[in-house]
Amino acid sequence: MSRKILLILGPNLNMVGLREKNVYGEETAETINEDIRRWAEELGMDIEIYQSNCEGEIISKIHSALGTKDGIIINAGAYTHYSYAIRDAIACVPSVPTIEVHMSNVHARDEFRHKTVIGGVCKGQISGFGKFSYRLALYALNDIL
Ligand code: DQA
């Protein structure tokens, strides 16, 4: 059976292609998602892509992965840096390995982005490779699942 992956995209990630093009590039979220679907398919994975700008919705989505998904990839956007609630939600589903992803290199940017409050409950982090950060996260899950 193919492994079920949940990709969660947090606040403002629907605006990629329009927002801060110097940081996130000009390619739209839609075409990036098409690439991600293709990459997942190539690895024999069944992927659901979920985007929300709301903390509570992201938390409920993480909970819903329990017993229904094999792995989570999350780009929590700015919530990465201060949402203890999202951290606790990830800690609620330890049987579902979670990979933290960022398109930009958060360590090369503003000081407040250097800190991740979710990193400690994730399997690992990938940061700085644009849309390919998502592909690397798929490879990571492919390896550990
Ligand atoms: C981001 C980095 C965050 O600091 C920022 O708030 C985002 C996107 C990234 O993918 O590089 O919204 O997670």
Q: Establish whether residue 12 lines the binding site of ligand 1, counting it when its CB lies within 6 angstroms of any ligand atom.
A: yes
Q: Which residues are catalytic?
A: 24, 102
**Domains contained in the chain, number:** 1
- Residue to substitute in 7, 16, 86, 102 for testing ligand 1 pocket (most ligand atoms within 8 angstroms of CB): 102
| CA 59 to centroid of ligand 1, rounded, Å | 18
What pairs with residue 72 in β-bridges?
6, 98
Phi and psi at 123, nearest 5°, equal -65, -40
pLDDT per position as a tens digit, 7-50: 999 999 999 999 999 999 999 999 999 999 999 999 999 999 99
Host domain of residue 77: 3-144
Phi and psi at 59, nearest 5°, equal -60, -45
pLDDT per position as a tens digit, 82-128: 999 999 999 999 999 999 999 999 999 999 999 999 999 999 999 99
DSSP 55-116: HHHHHHHHHHTTTT-SEEEEE-GGGGGT-HHHHHHHHT-TTS-EEEEESS-GGGS-GGGS--
CATH number at residue 105: 3.40.50.9100
